Structure 1
């Protein structure tokens, strides 16, 4: 078996470290975002939270970006949509989180729909 090395650390070890860090960041977000909020975390620090179901987008004035960005949806029956700076959207199901590895977010909309 051949193991690629980068800077004295195997690529496999680096990938494991990144995966562990992402899991820890997601867990920290889940631990500090109370129901019924949709929270935004940057490097484990809460930078915003939203609660209201709206029919229009709520702008994100800070325009957060990845890496190190986690969006946590603690709502039981409502989905959360996030809007990217290039216009695409992503739906986050109830009781789940989404890790942004790259790109910039510009808006959030909480919908009373139970599924994406």
Structure 2
């Protein structure tokens, strides 16, 4: 899979998400997600990875949902956007992770923008 993300932060009303930077789950994800990928982990198992910068959304075929879902952006200068089933988006800055505690993701986009 190849994923692309971009955009600002907008959390869907039906979904609860928690930004993460120091949890064991995030560290484990970072250990198995190599640069320049944006990886998706469900309960610590990698379920997808994307690396292409695109101007459009890439659909997530598995429609992953929380809890136990972590999105890891290993890129140095590119943000990654995730799209929720309700259409809202969340931006994940470079070199960071995002933990989805509830809600379903439907798309990803990597943008060459360095900041959300």
Q: Same fold (TM over 0.5)?
A: yes
Shift of 1:102: 0.2
CA-to-partner distance for each residue in 1:6-56, whole Å, 9 max, x for gaps?
A: xxxxxxxxxxxxxxxx81111110110000000000000000000000000
Provide the residue aligned with 1:45 in structure 2: 45
The aligned counterpart of 2:26 is: 26
1:33-87 CA-partner distances (Å, limit 9, x unpaired): 0000000000000000000000000000000000000000000000000000000
Question: Match of 1:84?
Answer: 84
How many angstroms apart in 1 are the aligned matches of 2:36 and 2:80? 11
Segments of structure 1 that go 5 or more residues without pairing to the other structure are 1-21
Task: Give the TM-score, by structure 2 length.
Answer: 0.81
Q: Which runs of 5+ in 2 are unaligned?
A: 1-21
Cα distance in 2 between the residues matched to 1:40 and 1:86? 19
Equivalences for residues 42-81 of structure 1 within 5 A: 42-81=42-81
Where relative contact order (Cα < 8 A, 6+ residues apart) is larger, the structure is: 2
Report the Cα distance in structure 1 between the residues aligned to 2:76 and 2:113, rounded to whole angstroms: 11
